[in-house]
Structure 1
């Protein structure tokens, strides 16, 4: 089995890479020289200065990425076949699950603490793999949250598919984080219906009242947002936290 090789004289960079590789359970070899690279090394993580004489299709310049994890993601993607396409699966909800896949290989998973954080994670992935064909697959449940994610990605020009989650079996006995991440993996592996145009729909009175109820709960009874703000939340234009802040400041 091919593994990642780490080569750099930069102690801080080497420490950061190896620490994250250990935390993520990824096998690697720490290279002390490039004179004789073991055959099992399939890709090398290094710095841009130290790796300039290596084959560019088999090297990742860790210092050129926004963080160490992003560099590791790219190295793993190369190691497992360097697919032309990457897929991001999203299980929408209050705590969205996110999965990054290259072919059938799971590169990384996340459980975001909010929709806004999920959107930023997905945007980061899309930027990291801007040279690839990119598909975002979103589960059809929790449509309010799914619509906000779609709205947040509207300027990226990527394929977005809606996946019928009833076709993906659910498991019990896992934590919320594990369930959401597992669901995101299943969604990523399931082809969905391509969104050709931004979805427009009328929201029911019940959906509006539910957002208002949540605003009251989240503000601990201080405020109930207006129908107009609730509609903006439902359309994905603003988050419920921002709607609460607007309501409080306009008093």
Structure 2
């Protein structure tokens, strides 16, 4: 059982609300009271770090109660609570955090923010693993190559996107990430992808859509975007500053759909 024992009101309020939101069984005691016999984990504040020698103690940050609750739940589950982070790659990857079979958090963020989110969630977990779907080749390669501080597995994501019924619009990527997290993959340290002509054209088209003047970046910049060296916005900035030359950089606006 999880026990909350602290005199820090902010810690108490944040942790208790988080536990209630998760439907978790817990109890609260004063720090100087005897713990219940079934207590296995104590969540407390920085003022009582060393007061509970016989049980696992989690010290909660009042600004981040979710992290303390994640740690407490993982401790209660023991070895079955290993943290697995599933990622459905794309321009806005779905990210699911699992402790054992339990989903403890989910996110969908722009590709440029995904690595920070994944590293943050993995930072305090014992032996975490990140499982990334092998679809969206360019985006998955970017994530694999930038996640160099955690074990990464590349997963065959065939069939991981579920059917979405009424009222579930926008949930597909996150649910796919959950399914990806539950599949074992091949451990990888890097993923080298040579972009196809079609993938390069998609990047050019995306740059045209984001450009203020309806102009696409050239192939050199598009390949740098494909390699993860630049975002589309950064490539457009280089394009405007004359970093590369191409027909699309002339003074004429190109409406043809081709660069």
Deviations along 1:10-36, whole A, 9 cap, x unmatched? 112222223333444444323234423
Structure with the larger RCO, 1 or 2 (CA within 8 Å, 6+ apart): 1
Q: Provide the C-alpha distance between the structure 2 equivalents of 1:222 and 1:12, rounded to a whole number of angstroms.
A: 51
Shift of 1:41: 3.8
Q: Provide the C-alpha distance between the structure 2 equivalents of 1:218 and 1:26, rounded to a whole number of angstroms.
A: 45
**Which blocks of at least 5 consecutive residues in structure 1 are unaligned?**
none
After superposition, the Cα gap between the structure-2 partners of 1:246 and 1:41, relative to the gap in structure 1 and judged at 3 Å, is farther
After superposition, the Cα gap between the structure-2 partners of 1:31 and 1:171, relative to the gap in structure 1 and judged at 3 Å, is farther
Please point out which of 153, 157, 176 is paired with 1:165: 157
TM-score by length of 1: 0.84
1:205 aligns with 2:201: no
Shift of 1:210: 0.4
TM-score by length of 2: 0.81
**Counterpart for residue 242 of structure 1:** 234
**Which blocks of at least 5 consecutive residues in structure 2 are unaligned?**
244-259
Shift of 1:120: 0.8
Shift of 1:209: 1.1
4+ residue segments displaced more than 6 Å: none
After superposition, the Cα gap between the structure-2 partners of 1:95 and 1:21, relative to the gap in structure 1 and judged at 3 Å, is farther
RMSD (Å) for aligned C-alpha atoms = 2.6
Shift of 1:9: 0.9
Q: Provide the C-alpha distance between the structure 1 equivalents of 2:25 and 2:84, rounded to a whole number of angstroms.
A: 23
Residues 69-218 of structure 1 mapped to structure 2, 5 A cutoff: 69-83=66-80, 85-106=82-103, 108-129=104-125, 132-154=126-148, 156=149, 158-168=150-160, 170-173=162-165, 175-195=168-188, 197-218=189-210
Shift of 1:39: 3.9
- Of structures 1 and 2, the larger Rg is shown by 2
